[in-house]
Structure 1
Amino acid sequence: MRLEQKVIIVTGSCTGIGKAIAKRCVAEGARVVIHGLEPELGQEVVDELGTANAVLHIEDLAVEGVAQRLVDRAVQSFGRLDAVVNNAALVASSNIHTTDLAFFRHILEVNTLAPFALIQAALPFLKENRGCVLNIGSVNGWSGEPDLMAYSVSKGALMTLTRNLGDTLHREDGVRVNQINPGWVLTENEARRKHEHGMPVDWYKDISPVFAPSGRIIWPDELAAAAIYWLADESGPISGQIVDLEQYPLIGRNPPKN
């Protein structure tokens, strides 16, 4: 039980990576706040984990005051707060020609400012318990795809936030802040998005080795396993780190020509 008695908020945990992380946290002894925008799906997760281990909070992260309400939900339900997983993100196609300022601001609000606000609201409790923050970024944060411009910028900003607070909060308050950057992951939303873009329902069964040398893309459970290290005490004094979780190197990669 690597997370025994810890209380963890996992944003965007009604589906996908967040759901997998929340389930793995409970399996490791933690209690969790499930968060998202889908009440039915969120309740299914709570029912699976049990009401002694999980509570549900449905609210858009762009709404004023949501960070404090998430923290209050955790503390009122379980009496403490040990960690925050900033997983929720708005993934939307955009490029220089299709992005207006209102759209860009909304992406930044959800993907960058909301994680900051939640860390800020949670800090008194994280400081008390020498807790930690795990931000879930994206390999797109290093540059990104042409049609994921605003999303990629928001994840690049999240990396800078992680490094900045990972230094400051660790020295001043004993709170570690780290980040994992997933590559291409087979979540429910990703499967649906690609199908909506014209790909067959089972598109993920035939992925080019350029994008998936192993023959498949990453599963959410594999990211959840990696997340536990950063949330557990065994990661010790490590803070301010960004770790890419992809199946090939990003910088200087030479993909096969065939």
Structure 2
Amino acid sequence: MKRFENKVALVTGGRSGIGRAIACRLRDEGAIVVTAQRGEDGEFDWIAADFSDPNTPDRIVNEVIARTGRLDVLVNNAGMMQEALIEEMSLEDWQRNLNVNLTAPFLLIRAALPHLRETRGNIINIGSVEGLAANPEHAAYSATKTGIHGLTRSVAVDHGHEGIRCNAVAPGWIDTDLNLNLIEREPDPEAFRRDINRIHPVGQTGTPEDVAALVAFLAASEAGFITGQVYTVDGGRASKLSLP
């Protein structure tokens, strides 16, 4: 029997990148998957979502329950990144980053909790290595991902006695279409690729499937004694000291 047979998973931002890999992995292991994002999803049952709107999370969870009758796994993957120095970022832009990256996951968790109690389900939040350190001009992104990691621990502590687990995955450099396109826009893409591979102890960058594999494990019953944890998936990059 597949690990997620007869279980329902909601994956936000499931139309592309890491979210798509997670949705495919859960589906391949038997789950009924619903994705939620701005664009239409031609492969999965989907719900249109604007995560800057605080009314969106309740609507999405209610729609999943209306369509499937249950919810077993919530994957908070949708997010945004805006590069700017603090002095250059408007309060409006800061708030939009906060709304999409941190408030929306909070509201989705709040809406999902009554249903996850019934199924003894679990939550996987997609954080980032930038919740542990920071890249230049990523103040809003780093702050919100740090918040996601803290939210993960708090949910695990408050709701573990109800049979609900909550963990986070913190990806490093992952070869999504967005990142691959970024490399191709570099003056010397081959040199950039060599340089970025060199900073990873494993000698290469990650794939969306690398993240999806860990998400599937954490969502499965084999991980039943794991909660409140943040797992880094970065090829060892965060463990490697820079040269003097």
Structure 2-normalised TM-score?
Answer: 0.92
The one-letter code of the counterpart of 2:238 is L
Cα pair 1:176 1:239 within 8 Å, conserved: yes
Q: Secondary structure at the match of 1:250?
A: helix
1:191 correspondence with 2:180: yes
| Aligned position for 2:13 | 12
**Partner AA of 1:188 in structure 2:** D
Q: Of 124, 145, 149, which aligns to 1:159? A: 149
Partner of residue 75, structure 2: 85
1:200 Cα offset (Å): 5.5
Instruction: Tell whether 2:115 aligns with 1:128.
Output: no
Q: How does 1:16-55 map to 2 (within 5 A)?
A: 16-39=17-40, 42-43=41-42, 45-46=43-44, 55=45
Q: CA contact under 8 A between 1:162 and 1:240: conserved in structure 2?
A: yes
- 1:113 maps to 2:100: no
Structure 2 counterpart SS, 1:97? helix
Q: CA deviation at 1:212?
A: 2.9
Displacement of 1:216 in angstroms is 2.4
Residue number in structure 2 paired with 1:49: none
Distance 1:203 1:210, change over 3 A: closer
The question of whether the paired residues in 1 share the 8 Å contact of 2:132 and 2:146 is answered with: yes
Q: Within 5 Å, which residues of 2 pair with 1:104-253?
A: 104-171=94-161, 173-195=162-184, 198-199=186-187, 205-248=193-236, 250=238, 253=240
Identity of paired residues, percent? 33
Paired letter, 1:254: L
Aligned equivalents of 1:213, 1:137: Cα separation in 2: 21
CA distance in 2, matches of 1:203, 1:5: 47
Deviations 1:167-221 (A, max 9, x none): 10112x221111010010010122234545x455677743434433333210001
In 2, the alpha carbon distance for the partners of 1:133 and 1:64 equals 19
> Structure 1 regions of 5+ residues with no counterpart?
47-54
Give the 3 Å change call, closer, same or farther, for CA 67–183 of structure 1 in structure 2. Answer: same
The two structures, once aligned, show a CA RMSD in angstroms of 1.9
The one-letter code matched in structure 2 to 1:248 is G
Question: Given the superposition, is the C-alpha separation of residues 199 and 154 from structure 1 closer, same or farther in structure 2, using an over 3 Å criterion?
Answer: farther
Question: Distance between the aligned counterparts of 2:231 and 2:206, measured in 1?
Answer: 15
Corresponding letter in the other structure for 2:51: L
**Whole-Å Cα distance in 2 between the matches of residues 182 and 36 of structure 1?**
20
Q: CA deviation at 1:139?
A: 0.3
Deviation track 1:11-58 (CA, whole Å, cap 9, x = no partner) reads 00110000000000000110111122222xx12x22xxxxxxxx1112
Count matched residues.
243
8 Å contact kept, 2:173–2:205 = yes
- Contact map agreement 1:17 1:220 (CA 8 A) in 2: yes
Q: Which runs of 5+ in 2 are unaligned?
A: none
Runs (4 or more) in structure 1 with deviation over 6 Å come to 201-204
